[in-house]
Amino acid sequence: MHYRLARIVDSVTADNFKEKSDEILRFLSMPHGHISGVYSLINQANYMIGKGRNKLTDEELREALRWEIDTSLQQLETYGPIKRANLKRVAK
């Protein structure tokens, strides 16, 4: 993970989640389809925090974000659009 992205994730709390999640998405600047897991986690956490149902501690929230970002970027690198384009060309 990029050090600036890691610093943003490390500063996330339930109180500043909305602002920091917007910052994370701006930093990643990828279409929804490429990092849909990150968008899903952010939307779910925003809903839970907004409704007062958040059961996660700040550290658990940060760890979930770290894991989802790392996993999404790794899958994008392995199976991303460029890789799929190469597979489609071979399949023809």
pTM of the predicted protein model: 0.80
71/92 Cα distance (integer angstroms): 30
Q: Could you read off the pLDDT of 61-85 as tens digits, one per residue?
A: 999 999 999 999 998 888 876 665 5
Listed as ranges, residues in the chain with pLDDT below 50 are: 87
Q: Could you say which DSSP state residue 73 is in?
A: H
71/88 Cα distance (integer angstroms): 24
Tell me what pLDDT residue 89 has: 53
Residue recorded with tokens 């998405």 = 25
Helix (H, G, I), strand (E, B) or coil at 30: coil
Cβ-proximal residues to 6 (8 Å cutoff; 6+ apart), any chain: 66
